[in-house]
Amino acid sequence: MPELPEVEIYARYFERHALRQTVARVRVLDERICGSRNLGRLVGRSFERVRRHGKHFFADAGDVWLHIHFGMSGDLAYFSDAPPRYARLIFDFDNGASLAYEDMRLFGIVDLTSSPVDYILEHELGPDPLELNLRSFRELLANRRGRIKALLLSQNIIAGIGNLYADEALFRSGIHPRRQVDRLSDGEVRSLFRSIRGVLQEAIAFKSRGGDYPGRWLVQHREEGDRCPRCGGTIRRTVVAGRTTYYCARHQK
């Protein structure tokens, strides 16, 4: 499932391949991925810059922006011969190349919006975790109640931390996913902030090199009873905020 690091990589891919080429044609191959607005408006325009906010991707096409949410299996492919198998929408550029939005499972959405800011406000999305500083992170947590993992997953508090990355950041900072937000110490909040940034930035770096995550990451040990790569404790599985959650029973307090 495309999470924030994958969407960042798609944004870089789009930026590298699909900017400053005039859209000659928009081919909708499956209307189920289209939002309500008319994508034909993009004909004759070109994309000038990209932006990512959480798991949302935007490309500036003048007075309108393309918006993509990649759902469960969305991806991009720039090509000049045969379109990829699960292409659902294709932008043909006037230079003969094309960009496909592919999506095997059809949970993604491609549509238009007036601007990323409007989209973020309309959908009440919180700030992107990589745009936060420690002070703004503290302010987000202030006066909140509930379990820390549930808060990390709330898109209207912080946009874009998915289930795996929430577990990974809590694992790295030694915080139990069921901890109450208002009981975290200043040091724990600082550690969690650094862990979120570290996990996401390292994930982007690993993914952009096409590599897998290292064995010291929790994601490589998501199995009940597995051994913690940090302290040798036991990995436990539970449910927090309705999501399957893994944590180390020894070093996450």
Taking the C-alpha atoms of residue 11 and residue 14, their distance in angstroms, rounded to an integer, is 5
Q: By C-beta, is 144 or 251 nearer to Zn ion? A: 251
Q: Does 233 bind Zn ion (CB under 5 A)?
A: yes
69 near 55, Cβ under 8 Å?
Answer: yes
Spell out the residues 6+ positions from residue 74 whose beta carbon is closer than 8 angstroms to its own.
2, 68, 101, 102, 103, 107, 108
Binding-site member from 141, 203, 228, 241 for Zn ion (CB under 5 A): 228
φ, ψ dihedrals at 165, nearest 5°: -75, -30
Stretch that binds Zn ion, among 43-51, 57-65, 82-90, 221-229 (CB under 5 A): 221-229
Taking the C-alpha atoms of residue 45 and residue 66, their distance in angstroms, rounded to an integer, is 11
Spell out the residues 6+ positions from residue 123 whose beta carbon is closer than 8 angstroms to its own.
none
HSE toward the beta carbon, residue 213, CA cutoff 13 A: 19
Query: In this structure, how many other beta carbons lie within 10 angstroms of the beta carbon of residue 56?
Result: 25
Active-site position among 3, 6, 8, 102: 3
Q: Tell me the closest approach of the beta carbon of residue 226 to Zn ion, in angstroms.
A: 11
Is position 227 annotated as part of the catalytic site? Answer: no
Stretch that binds Zn ion, among 126-134, 142-150, 176-184, 224-232 (CB under 5 A): 224-232
The size of the chain, in residues, is: 253
String of contacts with Zn ion for each residue 181-220, x by CB under 5 A? ----------------------------------------
Active-site position among 52, 55, 88, 172: 55
Q: Does 229 bind Zn ion (CB under 5 A)?
A: no
Q: By C-beta, is 18 or 228 nearer to Zn ion? A: 228
Q: Does 127 bind Zn ion (CB under 5 A)?
A: no
Stretch that binds Zn ion, among 19-27, 57-65, 73-81, 230-238 (CB under 5 A): 230-238
166 near 149, Cβ under 8 Å?
Answer: yes
User: Helices marked H in the chain — which ranges?
Assistant: 4-17, 116-122, 134-141, 148-153, 163-173, 186-208
Is position 243 annotated as part of the catalytic site? Answer: yes
Q: Does 175 bind Zn ion (CB under 5 A)?
A: no
Q: Tell me the closest approach of the beta carbon of residue 76 to Zn ion, in angstroms.
A: 37
- Which chain residues interact with Zn ion by CB under 5 A? 228, 230-231, 233, 248, 250-251
What residues act catalytically? 2-3, 55, 243
